[in-house]
């Protein structure tokens, strides 16, 4: 299952991570986000130890949403070595999400 992050633990969990991190920026009122939730959670299980999968609720962490230019959700950002490596706006099927996270 993906780990829920806040502004308080984002830096140590994402920016200081030794492995790549896939961050799912989402909200409870977002239909496409809710459709992606089980796919994201499954991916967290499949990639455990290779890619850390986290979720950031944009309503609870508005500062992070602003910092990373989140204007539409879901937005998926792949972080490598503390830097944004890739960004995707919108939902995607499970195979594409896995490919995105592992690249």
Question: Looking at the annotation, which residues are catalytic?
Answer: 30, 33
- Alpha-carbon distance of 82 to 13, in angstroms, equals 10
Q: In whole angstroms, how large is the CA radius of gyration of the chain?
A: 12
- In angstroms, the CA 72 to CA 41 distance is 20
The structure tokens listed for 33 are: 């986000």
Block residue for tokens 């939730």: 37
């Amino acid at each position: 299952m993906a780990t829920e992050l806040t502004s308080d633990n984002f830096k140590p969990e994402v920016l200081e991570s030794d492995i790549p991190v896939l961050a799912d920026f989402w909200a409870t009122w977002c239909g496409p986000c809710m459709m992606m939730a089980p796919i994201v959670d499954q991916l967290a299980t499949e990639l455990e130890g290779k890619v850390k999968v986290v979720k950031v609720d944009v309503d609870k962490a508005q500062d992070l949403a602003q910092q990373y230019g989140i204007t539409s959700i879901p937005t998926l950002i792949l972080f490598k070595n503390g830097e944004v490596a890739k960004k995707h706006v919108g939902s995607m099927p499970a195979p594409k999400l896995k490919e995105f996270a592992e690249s």
